[in-house]
Amino acid sequence: MEKLIFLIVIFLAGELSAHQGESHGKKEEQEKPVKQDVLNEIDQSYRENIASIFEKKCMDCHGEPKKLPWYHALPVAKNIMDEDMREAKEHLDLRGGFPFKGHGTPLEDLEAIQEVVRKDEMPPFRYKIMHWSSQLTNTEKKAIEEWVERGKILLGDEEK
Ligand code: HEC
């Protein structure tokens, strides 16, 4: 029982901190449309190098969850997790490869991914303490960093 209360408190704490100083859904400036072959190239290297990492560590929230943990059966935990999964996909929906769905442009998505990976913000803390293996390894971070940098150059070149 104590363990259960602990889990719920942790989830609630995470939920509160996740929303500090955040602005939702802003996308004022419309970027120029990006050429399809650039997107395809980024998508191809995504599928080769990154998809398997995201599959393991991000898809539970930003895509289709493989297997929900036992505590999803608890009413409070269930609400929090469902909300997490809904909100995560609103920001960034990884189903279907690059360019991702969600509210960002392809370039914004790459920049957002780079930022959360650099700052160790994803997967969220409350999730990592439940699934220790969900933490990104240094090798995975390096692969993501390289993919993002290359993609940003490709997308940036496109704008000139
Ligand atoms: C436990 C669920 C969960 C997991 C697992 C998770 N995320 Fe998230 N993610 C969220 C939620 C909820 C948000 C939106 C609220 C926030 O920023 O905390 C979010 C937001 C983001 C954003 C910000 C998008 C924006 O619009 O700025 C990025 C980028 C992101 N996640 C990438 C990742 C990556 C990459 C992984 C895997 C390494 C990952 N997330 C794993 C729940 C999750």
* Alpha-carbon span 13 to 17, nearest angstrom: 6
CB-count burial class (<10 Å; 0-12, 13-18, 19+) for 96: exposed
Answer whether residue 116 shows pLDDT above 60. Answer: yes
Per residue in 25-74, pLDDT tens? 444 455 567 789 999 999 999 999 999 999 999 998 999 888 788 888 88
Name the residue with the closest Cα to ligand 1, atom 10.
88
* Alpha-carbon span 102 to 105, nearest angstrom: 8
Ligand 1 touching residue 126 (CB < 6 A): no
C-alpha dist (Å) from residue 28 to 1, 24, 31, 35, 105 = 48, 12, 9, 21, 11
Which one of 92, 98, 127 would you pick to mutate in the ligand 1 pocket, going by the greatest count of ligand atoms within 8 A of its CB?
A: 92
Answer whether residue 21 shows pLDDT above 50. Answer: no
Name the residue with the closest Cα to ligand 1, atom 13.
88
